[in-house]
């Protein structure tokens, strides 16, 4: 029997974000430092069987409907399609967020293994700028990855763009055109204070409101349905040429409808991106804990879910982990 997992603020939790590795082949400036990241040791990382057990308890006991694979960069984890196959068998909607740089090599295997959807991150369509942001000259590979996702039949394919003032905000319209031409949904994301270098400044965040004004002026857009528990606010182009979205994590926090929890690659369960505490599911798993013990630990952590984050307030505390270790 499934029993919905309801947090202290009345929100039903249904979405598990699973970071499958803390490693990454990129070094995006807004996410991790160019040098000096300390990767976790292999034995600290959950095995596929351990990840599957946590996901199974979430789906079978608590009725989770959504599993999202992320990282670090999930495609650098060896044999990712094997994990996808295990998780797809659970029957929840299964999606992947990737930087896309090796997607052309694995898209077909992931599809065959049962992956439902792909989100690809790309923050510039200009080669020199892409290199400056990611510290890798891999724009072409990412564009090939987007093409491969489309050719393999993933639908929808979404492209996530983190906008930063003075860095890539002048590419807003280029990205929108790119999305319209390719048939991919662009989602413009506000930069959050989760970069390992702690360089975040509010002045560099490009407010979603401004993005929507520019898009409306240039193309004409109208709001689609209410977003429910999804962080993206969705719009359609009035001429019928596709969709576009914004994720206003900073200026219009969507905490009040948050339905997700996060499992780090070393098996710590986080009730919020900005949580300062975690539940050590790896210890439960490795001490031979049964599904009841796992379920109890998950339930207890969901019981700590905050009403919302307080970015910008004096009380705001940055979590010790950076975005690359939490998974976005």
DSSP letter at 164?
B
Per CB under 6 A, residues contacting ligand SAM are 24, 30-31, 70-71, 73, 97-99, 121, 160, 162, 189, 191-192, 194-195, 323-324, 327-328
Task: Tell me the C-alpha distance between 76 and 100, whole Å.
Answer: 11
Smallest separation (angstroms) from ligand SF4 to the CB of 132: 13
**Inter-residue long-range contacts of 76-79, CB under 8 Å, 24+ positions, other chains counted:** 76/21, 76/23, 76/24, 76/25, 76/102, 77/20, 77/21, 77/23, 79/48
Paired with 237 in beta bridges are 221
Considering the rule CB under 6 A, would residue 188 count as an interface residue with ligand SF4? no
Paired with 188 in beta bridges are 161, 246
**C-beta closer to ligand SAM: residue 267 or 328:** 328
| Closest C-alpha among 18, 23, 145 to residue 88 | 18
Smallest separation (angstroms) from ligand SAM to the CB of 84: 15
Task: Tell me the C-alpha distance between 159 and 98, whole Å.
Answer: 10
CB neighbours (10 Å) of residue 48? 17
DSSP letter at 204?
G
Per CB under 6 A, the list member of 31, 45, 84, 326 interacting with ligand SF4 is: 31
Considering the rule CB under 6 A, would residue 64 count as an interface residue with ligand SF4? no
**C-beta closer to ligand SAM: residue 99 or 152:** 99
Q: Which of residues 11-30 bind ligand SF4 (CB under 6 A)?
A: 24, 26-28
**C-beta closer to ligand SF4: residue 140 or 218:** 140
Smallest separation (angstroms) from ligand SAM to the CB of 247: 8
Question: Which secondary structure element, helix H or strand E, spans residue 208, and what is its range?
Answer: helix 208-218
**C-beta closer to ligand SF4: residue 23 or 56:** 23
- Distance between alpha carbon 50 and the CA centroid of its chain, in Å? 21
Smallest separation (angstroms) from ligand SAM to the CB of 300: 26
191 binds, among ligand SAM, ligand SF4, none (CB under 5 to 8 A by kind): ligand SAM
Q: Considering CB under 6 A, how many residues would be counted as binding ligand SF4?
A: 12
Q: How many residues are listed for the chain in this entry?
A: 328
**C-beta closer to ligand SF4: residue 10 or 36:** 36
Residues with Cβ within 8 Å of residue 170, at least 6 apart in sequence: none
Residues with Cβ within 8 Å of residue 296, at least 6 apart in sequence: none
**C-beta closer to ligand SAM: residue 241 or 318:** 318
Per CB under 6 A, the list member of 20, 51, 72, 244 interacting with ligand SF4 is: 72
In the numeric block, which tokens belong to residue 92? Answer: 């929840």
327 binds, among ligand SAM, ligand SF4, none (CB under 5 to 8 A by kind): ligand SAM
Smallest separation (angstroms) from ligand SF4 to the CB of 95: 15
**C-beta closer to ligand SAM: residue 302 or 311:** 311
Per CB under 6 A, the list member of 32, 146, 215, 279 interacting with ligand SF4 is: 32
Is residue 65 exposed (0-12), middle (13-18) or buried (19+ Cβ within 10 Å)? middle
195 binds, among ligand SAM, ligand SF4, none (CB under 5 to 8 A by kind): ligand SAM
Considering the rule CB under 6 A, would residue 73 count as an interface residue with ligand SF4? yes
Smallest separation (angstroms) from ligand SAM to the CB of 64: 20
Q: 204-218 burial, b if ≥16 CB within 10 A, otherwise e? A: bbbbbebbbebbeee
In the numeric block, which tokens belong to residue 133? Answer: 């942001």
Q: Which residues bind ligand SF4 (CB under 6 A)?
A: 24, 26-28, 31-32, 71-73, 99, 121, 324
């Amino acid at each position: 029997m499934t029993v919905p997992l309801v947090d202290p603020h009345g929100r039903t939790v249904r979405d598990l974000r699973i970071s499958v590795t803390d490693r990454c082949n990129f070094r995006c400036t807004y996410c991790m430092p160019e040098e000096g990241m300390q990767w976790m040791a292999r034995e600290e990382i959950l095995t596929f069987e351990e990840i599957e057990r946590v996901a199974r308890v979430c789906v079978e006991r608590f009725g989770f409907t959504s599993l999202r694979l992320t990282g670090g960069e999930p495609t650098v984890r060896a044999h990712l399609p094997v994990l996808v196959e295990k998780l797809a068998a659970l029957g929840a909607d299964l999606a992947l967020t990737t930087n896309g740089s090796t997607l052309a090599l694995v898209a077909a295997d992931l599809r065959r293994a049962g992956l439902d959807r792909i989100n690809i991150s790309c923050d510039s369509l200009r080669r020199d700028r892409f290199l400056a942001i990611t510290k890798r000259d891999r724009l072409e590979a990412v564009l090939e990855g987007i093409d491969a996702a489309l050719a393999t039949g993933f639908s929808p394919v979404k492209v996530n763009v983190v906008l930063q003032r003075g860095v890539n905000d002048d590419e807003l319209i280029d990205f929108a055109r790119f999305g319209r031409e390719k048939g991919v949904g662009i989602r413009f994301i506000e930069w959050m204070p989760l970069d390992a270098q702690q360089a975040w400044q509010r002045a560099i965040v490009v407010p979603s409101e401004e993005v929507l004004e520019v898009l409306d002026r240039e193309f004409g857009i109208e709001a689609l349905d209410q977003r429910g528990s999804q962080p993206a606010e969705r719009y359609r182009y009035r001429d019928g040429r596709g969709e576009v979205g914004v994720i206003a994590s900073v200026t219009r926090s969507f905490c009040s409808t948050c339905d997700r929890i996060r499992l780090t690659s070393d098996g710590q369960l986080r009730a919020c991106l900005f949580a300062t505490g975690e539940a050590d599911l790896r210890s439960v798993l490795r001490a031979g804990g049964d599904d009841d013990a796992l379920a109890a630990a998950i339930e207890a952590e969901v019981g700590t879910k905050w009403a919302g984050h307080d970015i910008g307030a004096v009380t705001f505390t940055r979590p010790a982990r950076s975005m690359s270790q939490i998974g976005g």
